[in-house]
Homo-oligomer: A and B are copies of this chain.
Amino acid sequence: MIRFAAVGLSHNHIYNQVDMLLREGGALVSFWGREPERVARFAERYPQAVLARGVDEILDDPAIQMVVGADTPAERAPFGVRAMRAGKDVSMAKPGFVSLDQLAEVRRAHADTGRRYIVHFGERVESAVTIRALDLVRAGAVGRVVHTSGFGPHRLLGHIPREPWTFDAAQYGGILNDLASHQIDQFLFFTGSESAEIVSAHAGNMRFAAQFPAFQDYGDITIRAASAAGYIRVDWLTPDGLDTWGDVRLFVLGTDGYLELRKNIDLAGRPGKDHLFLVNHEGTRYIDCADTPITYGARLVADTLNRTETAITQAHVFTACELALKAQAMAVSITP
């Protein structure tokens, strides 16, 4: 059994991670957050957890093995370094970093301590359709993967409460750093690449410039590995008339077939989420992913207890985040 704490409740993504570890038998010992209403809501949802007077109380508790977090983005990595140096593993909501300097600090802490700083790539590790698609690719269902196209649209307003930092690109490190890290993670996984190069990137404030002048609501990345290319488009432009927060897609093109993942919705089509389409030389299939096991949480717990890397490797996390930070740094503005 793993004993863990939650530090930083500024984004609702904290719940994904807490619930995942609870499902795997983890014990939520304590928590801390900076927004009183979010603290109250968390305390009500998890009455078993003790509200710490500060993060030191959590770092000083030798029984806590892991800390999960979704603090304001700029605070995540500095806290992570402290947690690692206090002997704890860390699993952070994305973005795990807002600068390459933060990434360098965390790399150093990892090298010094052997503790991990994992970023929670929920669009893959908690996504049944993505897990199933990756299994199919690894089984050779589409031949060698040549290309991936990932679309990550999001709804900005009206469905969840958002803190002020959400609207200031400087505070979350920009849209590519924030949203596109998911798609970079998937490009690396689906193409089987350990490294890649950012070829080009754009960012812009296309719809919300008057309302939120410091925001970025659009971004794209062209990425290349040894023998594969990829494209990523992310945005905060989901219109009100869509029945979910975003029509997230992934297209995986192989030498002998392709996959389309409609992660959240099948437009004017089948109900629910996790829609997978496979086309190869044998035919065209719609694949139901309801039975696909989601094992990431169990493996992350086992990795923490056994010092293995079966869920995700530290090197992969650093590579994906570094590419997102680099893409952001080189993004050309297309703001009108």
With a CB–CB cut-off of 8 A, which chain B residues contact A282? 241
- Tell me whether A185 is interfacial, beta carbon within 8 Å: no
Contact partner, A241, options B153, B227, B283, Cβ 8 Å = B283
Beyond A222-B199, A233-B149, is A286–B260 a contact (Cβ under 8 Å)? no
With a CB–CB cut-off of 8 A, which chain B residues contact A143? 207
CA distance A200 to B241 in the complex (A): 34
Interface centre among A204, A240, A241, A242 (most CB of B within 10 A): A241
Q: Interface size of A by Cβ–Cβ distance < 8 Å?
A: 56
Measured between C-beta atoms, what is the minimum distance from A229 to chain B in Å? 5
Q: Are A218 and B279 in contact (CB under 8 A)?
A: no
Copies in the complex: 2
Beyond A200-B199, A241-B281, is A334–B206 a contact (Cβ under 8 Å)? no
CA distance A116 to B229 in the complex (A): 37
CA distance A277 to B285 in the complex (A): 21
With a CB–CB cut-off of 8 A, which chain B residues contact A228? 334
Contacting B at CB under 8 A, from A216-240, are 218, 220, 222, 224, 226-229, 231, 233, 235, 237, 239-240
Contact partner, A206, options B227, B251, B269, Cβ 8 Å = B227
